[in-house]
Structure 1
Amino acid sequence: MKSNRRLIQVLIFLGVLVLGGYAIGHSLFASSSDGLPRKGSTPPSFSLLGTDGKTHRLDDYKGKALVINFWGTFCPGCVTETPDLEEQYKKHGDKPFEIVGINLSEDRLAINNFIKQYDVSYTILQDNNRQVERAYGLKSYPTTFFVKPDGTIMDVFIGPMAKADMDKRIAKLLAS
């Protein structure tokens, strides 16, 4: 009885060891062809409801320089970069340029209060079922995608952006 128990424990330990090793190895050595958007690739399409009550699609922004910013009111970095995004939106409003903020499944009241508090005038969309978040492979917030007018990703920035970084990337995006 005791030897059977010991054998079962060893087998369970080996199973856990093999599965753990596979999971760690897979995450460390996963190829870049995992389907997540990268520089030079096309961002996954989306169709999301905006706070304006309209459905917005990625295709609606074809031919424009586009900044896609994934954010949440719960995210300190998202809060600090929102005024800079708004400033960029107003500064480049006369160009073929758009900023789209995709909120990460918060309720409409929280989003609307945030928009009002920070006087956000660029487009805000709601990813209620987090389908778009998963398609874009987000790991942390904020995450910002810079999409050239030809529809390819110029750059991806993970984390809160300093104003100078934002200025530099948007200037490069508009020149593309």
Structure 2
Amino acid sequence: MKSYRRITQIVIFLGVLLLGGYAIGNALFSPSDGLPRKGDKPPDFALLGSDGKTHRLSDYEGKALVINFWGTFCPGCVTETPDLQKQYEKQGDKPFEIVGINLGEDNLTVNNFIKQFGVSYSILLDDNRKVERKYGLKSYPTTFFVKPSGEIMDIFVGPMTENDIDERVTKLLQS
């Protein structure tokens, strides 16, 4: 009876060891960096906009969509805003939208920024930064380019130039 108990303990120990090793290995060597990947559907959201209305990802179905995570505290975010606005105005007659998701700043700060830069595309407020976490952001700005079919075409981490934006939006509208 004693040897049977010992064998059972060893088998259980080896099982726990294998499962633990698998879990640790998966966490350390997984190719995922937390961000949704190209070809994935972006995580859903429902956020209050600076216009006072609730905006959902589903509101933009069938349109080429640029989702830009930004904050006034981020120098790169500030420098790319005028170029995003130019692109929005340039594509005005097409099924195209830009959504700026602000990262946890107060209404006064966001509204002052919108006025200062003449932003006319939708600005949404991620007050508790839940959407930021769902998208797995590591740095700002981070921009997702979503095809009309609803899949992510590209993800750009860092500030974009006017050329970066134009190149991706052109490709996005052709998809």
Length-normalised TM-score, structure 1: 0.83
Give the stretch that moved more between structures: 35-44 or 163-172. 35-44
1:14-53 to 2 correspondences below 5 Å? 29-32=29-32, 36-53=35-52
Q: Deviations over 1:123-163 (max 9, x none)?
A: 00000011000000000000000000000000000000011
3-state secondary structure, aligned to 2:143: strand
Percent sequence identity over matched residues? 75
In the alignment, the residues of structure 1 paired with residue 71 and residue 25 of structure 2 have an alpha-carbon distance, to the nearest angstrom, of 31
Q: State TM-score, norm by structure 2.
A: 0.83
Mapped pair 1:158 → 2:157: yes
**Which deviates more from structure 2 when the two are superposed, residues 162-171 or residues 143-152?**
162-171
The aligned counterpart of 2:145 is: 146
Structure 1 or 2, whichever has the larger Rg, is 2
Partner of 1:15: none
Unpaired runs of at least 5, structure 1: 1-23
Counterpart residue type for residue 31 of structure 2? S
User: Do the aligned partners of 2:35 and 2:137 also contact (CA within 8 Å) in 1?
Assistant: no
Q: Name the counterpart of 1:13.
A: none
The aligned length equals 152
Inter-partner Cα distance in structure 2 for 1:159 and 1:28: 25
- The residue that corresponds to 2:111 in the other structure is 112
Alpha-carbon distance between aligned partners in 1 of 2:71 and 2:27, rounded to the nearest angstrom: 26
- The answer for the alignment partner of 2:7 in structure 1 is none
Letter in 2 for 1:129: N
Please state how far the C-alpha of 1:29 moved relative to its aligned partner: 1.8
Structure 2 counterpart of 1:31, one-letter code: P
Q: Within the alignment, does 1:75 sit opposite 2:74 as a pair?
A: yes
The CA RMSD measured in Å over matched residues stands at: 1.6
For the 8 Å contact 2:69–2:100, the answer to whether it is kept is yes
Q: Which runs of 5+ in 2 are unaligned?
A: 1-23
> Distance in 1 between the 2:125 and 2:135 partners?
15
For the residue of structure 2 that corresponds to 1:124, the secondary structure is: strand
> In structure 2, what residue type is equivalent to 1:164?
N
For residues 154 and 86 of structure 1, the distance between their equivalents in structure 2, rounded to whole angstroms, comes to 20
Aligned-partner SS, 1:173: helix
C-alpha distance after superposition, 1:68-88 (max 9, x if no partner):
000000000000000000000
What SS is found at the alignment partner of 1:68? strand
SS in 2 for 1:145: strand
- Say whether the 8 Å CA contact 2:48–2:125 is kept in structure 1: yes
